[in-house]
């Protein structure tokens, strides 16, 4: 069926009539900041402590706008006889936002949660070369990242929380098991602080056995029986 002549014009006029009756709302920017959604893709923030220099974000970036430099450091062994280990130390982390197309692939592939979306958008420059921001600037944007949304009450508990709770319970059990041994250690410490007796006294006390009622007394300690014979010297 061919369209009715003038139907497109009627639809356009209908939209115009509907919008004419609505109140115009003008956001007074920059005096009033806009209320942005929490998942706004404004700029990328860097949490440097979580970065292990795995280079995964730079390799997966379709625009190749992430620049990372690092060096290796040797970490001595924690225990004697152990093996020294090497770790990567981050020297430079920069993003060229003049090339970035805000796809978010670098944030999705980061295995250690070092990159986040921030709703900040006021970082325009007059020179395109100034849109390459180093890690210090990316660090400042990290503090504007909104908190993650609350989890669904019916969702399964994350594996990270379950592992952390299991480790905390194990540590609490170890501390509870070690508590009865603490008074014994305190008694040993108090015994070490008391002054020791003289060697002669201790030896005398340990060498002489305590007399008991069952053991016979030595002859020197036994009482002498009364004598019936008169004293010769007195009689003489």
Handedness of CA 42, 44, 49, 54 (dihedral sign): positive
Q: What is the mean pLDDT of residues 104-115?
A: 94
DSSP label at residue 132 = E
pLDDT at 58: 95
DSSP label at residue 34 = -
Question: In terms of Cα–Cα distance, which of 22, 34, 90, 83 is closest to 58?
Answer: 90
DSSP label at residue 67 = E
Q: Give percent of the chain above pLDDT 90.
A: 39
Residue 198 pLDDT class (50, 70, 90 cuts) = very low
CB 85 within 8 A of CB 111: no
Question: In terms of Cα–Cα distance, which of 135, 31, 59, 133 is closest to 91?
Answer: 135
Question: In terms of Cα–Cα distance, which of 98, 156, 102 is closest to 130?
Answer: 98
pLDDT over threshold 50, residue 236:
no
Residue 191 pLDDT class (50, 70, 90 cuts) = low
pLDDT at 203: 47
Q: What is the mean pLDDT of residues 1-28?
A: 84
pLDDT over threshold 50, residue 76:
yes
Distance CA 1, CA 20 (A): 32
Taking only Cα atoms into account, the Rg of the chain, rounded to an integer number of angstroms, comes to: 44
The secondary structure of the chain in percent helix, strand, coil, rounded to multiples of 5, reads 35, 15, 50
DSSP label at residue 50 = G
CB 117 within 8 A of CB 40: yes
pLDDT at 54: 93
Strands annotated E in 36-84:
43-46, 66-75
Confidence (pTM)? 0.55
Q: What is the mean pLDDT of residues 113-122?
A: 92
* Chain segment 119-173, per-residue pLDDT in tens: 999 998 999 999 999 999 999 999 999 888 777 788 887 788 888 889 999 999 9
In this predicted model, which residue has the larger pLDDT, 157 or 183? Answer: 157
Distance CA 201, CA 96 (A): 86
Mean pLDDT of the chain: 80
Question: In terms of Cα–Cα distance, which of 141, 115, 110 is closest to 48?
Answer: 115
């Amino acid at each position: 069926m061919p369209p009715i002549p003038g139907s497109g014009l009627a639809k356009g006029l209908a939209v115009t009539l509907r919008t004419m009756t609505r109140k115009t709302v003008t956001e007074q920017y920059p005096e009033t900041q806009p209320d942005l959604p929490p998942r706004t893709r404004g700029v990328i923030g860097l949490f440097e402590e979580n970065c292990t220099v795995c280079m995964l974000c730079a390799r997966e970036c379709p625009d190749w706008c992430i620049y990372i430099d690092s060096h290796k450091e040797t970490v001595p062994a924690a225990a004697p006889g152990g093996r020294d280990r090497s770790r990567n130390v981050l020297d430079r982390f920069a993003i060229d936002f003049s090339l970035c197309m805000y796809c978010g692939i670098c944030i999705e592939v980061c295995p250690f949660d070092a990159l986040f979306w921030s709703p900040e958008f006021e970082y325009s420059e007059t020179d395109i070369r100034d849109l390459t921001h180093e890690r210090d600037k990316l660090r400042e944007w990290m503090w504007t990242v909104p908190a993650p949304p609350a989890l669904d009450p019916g969702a399964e508990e994350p594996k990270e929380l379950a592992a952390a709770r299991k480790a905390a319970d194990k540590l609490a059990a170890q501390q509870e098991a070690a508590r009865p041994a603490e008074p014994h250690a305190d008694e040993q410490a108090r015994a070490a602080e008391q002054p020791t007796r003289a060697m002669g006294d201790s030896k005398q006390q340990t060498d002489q056995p305590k007399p008991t009622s069952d053991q016979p007394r030595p002859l020197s300690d036994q009482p002498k029986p009364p004598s019936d014979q008169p004293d010769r010297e007195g009689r003489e």
